[in-house]
Amino acid sequence: MNVQLWGTRGSLAAPGPDTVRYGGNTACVQVTGQDGTVLLLDGGTGMRRAGQLLGSDPRRVDVLLTHLHMDHIQGLGFFSPLRQPGWVVHLYGPGSTTQGLRARLSRYLSPPTFPVLLRELACELHLHEVACGDFDIGPFHVSSGLICHPNHAVGYRIQEGDCVLAYLPDHEPALGVPHFPLAAEWTSGYRLAAGADLLIHDAQYSSAEYPERIGFGHSSIEQSIQFAALAGVKQLVPFHHDPAHSDEDLDQLMAAAVAETGPNFIVTPGMEGAVFEL
Amino acid sequence: MMNQQEIEVILARQLADYLALPIFLVDQEGNLLFYNEPAEKILGHRYEETGPMPSSEWATVFQPTDEDGRPLPADELPLLVALHEARPAHSGFWIRGLDGVLHQIEVIAFPLIGQSDRHLGAVAIFWERPA
């Protein structure tokens, strides 16, 4: 499988001269299978460019939303396949305990927050609610599971053949854990990430910032590395960078976190445009 | 691969860890998963020493009895009512801690039901009635 990062920023798009290398767009990752099947993970602002470059083939795309915070869905309104007849778009995402996915998505895709209604989109749209479970999309076997993040968020484990990608862009497994990490049994997200070839994981804060943001649903870079070590992954992509962190800040924070934690796996900070071949 | 508890169960345990109320947590089969430090004071044993145990064991090892000293059937215990009937339950009774001390307690139990109607276990909150 081929994995391309279209948006790596968390919380809020942060374009500008200080964020050129890591990127300013919010979460969107393209996964392309060997047969050309395309998945998009999350619909942040990075999704707009991903949609432009999908071209006319394939005419089907499957979008897996981890949750419905704005930085993960804002690109939906500007995703060209949704507006074009002839495209088939499957949208997967979590409902809440009282509202289905359609009702939750419509809170954004309706006036006054957006001029076009979900039902007015020109493509053939299929919605699928996910919480915890397995399903198949083309060559991909997908497992979803609820993880620790406010307002109902899931992570995904995507397998094609022997290759496993784990995607947990918003995740605070250290919440309420005085000495992180706990045993795997009591660690949110472990089952999704265990043994993955590539883990894309929340790393929004520095270790100095995290204590001021406990409960916001995100991890420090160090916690991201510790979680990856517990899960026994082969490569970690720290992701969902804080909008206040410049390229220079991130260079320093990533280097310091790696030096402090000494991981025995590859750590490749998530940069917009980066491509991984599994 | 080691198994991982569901997120709702993990968060319930973490909440229990932080609360000063005695809390007892079981999985969907009724197996004891955790009780917190305030519960240890009443149950007379540290959780680390007790460890996980099936409902057939915890429902009897603490010797629950009514006010006349008659053993309570396990299926009348609030935690098992919450688990088996998927509803909150409440009652008061006596237990004997593993340290041999008798306690009169009140128990409120509720089921842990996650999204998609996943029955994940149950939680009991209990406290000792003043003498």
A185–B2 CB contact, under 8 Å: yes
For A202-217, how does the pLDDT look when each residue is reduced to its tens digit (9 = 90+)? 999 999 999 999 999 9
Q: CATH code at B63?
A: 3.30.450.20
Q: Do A146 and B14 touch (CB under 8 A)?
A: no
Give one DSSP letter per residue of B8-60, joined into a string: HHHHHHHHHHH-SS-EEEEETT--EEEE-HHHHHHHTS-HHHH--B-HHHHHH
Q: Which domain holds residue B47?
A: 7-128
Across residues A73-77, what is the average pLDDT?
97
The whole-number pLDDT of residue B100 equals 92
Q: For an interface test with A, which of B7, B8, B9, B117 has the most A Cβ atoms less than 10 Å from its Cβ?
A: B7
Asked if A94 contacts B116 with a C-beta cutoff of 8 angstroms, the reply is no
In a domain, B119, yes or no: yes
Work out the mean pLDDT of chain A and round it to a whole number: 96
How confident is the model at residue B1, as a pLDDT?
Answer: 64
Q: Which of A132, A186, A187 sits opposite B116 (nearest CB)?
A: A132
pLDDT digits (tens, 9 = 90+) for B3-44: 899 999 999 999 998 899 999 999 999 999 999 999 999 999
User: Is it the case that residue A56 has pLDDT exceeding 80?
Assistant: no
Statement: residue A78 has pLDDT above 70: yes
Evaluate whether residue B67 is within a structural domain: yes
Helix axes A247-261, A221-231, angle to 10 degrees: 50
Flag whether residue A150 sits within 8 Å of chain B, measured between CB atoms: no
Q: Give the neighbor-by-neighbor strand order of the sheet with B89-96.
A: B32-35, B23-27, B118-128, B102-114, B89-96
The encoded tokens of residue A225 equal 């590395």
Torsion angle in degrees (nearest 10) through CA of A254, A156, A196, A142: -160
Chain A residues lying within 8 Å of B7, measured CB to CB: 145-148, 188
Band of pLDDT at residue A194, cut at 50, 70 and 90: very high
Is there a domain that residue B116 lies in? yes
What is the pLDDT, as a whole number, of residue B25? 97
Q: CB count, 10 Å around CB of A231?
A: 26
Fold of the A2-277 domain: Metallo-beta-lactamase; Chain A (3.60.15)
Chain B contact probe: residue of A98, A132, A227 with most B CBs at under 10 A: A132
Q: Please check whether residue A95 touches B, CB under 8 A.
A: yes
pLDDT at B131 over 90: no
Encode pLDDT of B59-117 as tens digits.
889 999 999 999 999 999 999 999 999 999 999 999 999 999 999 999 999 999 998 89
Place of tokens 């300013």: A24
Domain count, chain B: 1
Tell me: the pLDDT tens digits for A133-153?
Answer: 999 999 999 999 999 999 899
* B130 lies within 8 A of chain A by CB: no
Of chain B residues 9-68, which have a CB less than 8 A from chain A?
10-11, 13-15, 17-18
User: So what's the pLDDT on residue A76?
Assistant: 97
Interchain pair B6, A132: CB under 8 A? yes
**pLDDT for the residue A188:** 96
Q: Does A97 touch chain B (CB under 8 A)?
A: yes
Q: How far is B73 from chain A (nearest CA, A)?
A: 32
The answer as to whether B1 is a domain residue is no
Q: Domain for residue B27, yes or no?
A: yes
DSSP string, chain A: -EEEEEE-B-SS---SGGGTTT-S-BSEEEEE-TT--EEEE--STTHHHHHHHTTTS-SEEEEE-S---GGGTGGGGG-GGGGSTT-EEEEEE---SS--HHHHHHTTSSTTT-SS-GGG-SSEEEEEE-SSEEEEETTEEEEEEEESSTTSEEEEEEEETTEEEEEESS--TTTT-TTS---GGGSTTHHHHTT-SEEEEE--B-TTTGGGGTTSS--BHHHHHHHHHHHT-SEEEEESB-TT--HHHHHHHHHHHHHHH--SSEE----TT-EEE-
Minimal Cα–Cα distance from B117 to chain A, Å? 9
CB-based contact, A152 to chain B, within 8 Å: yes
Distance CA B116, CA A129 (A): 10
Judge whether A215 is closer than 8 Å to chain B, CB to CB. Answer: no
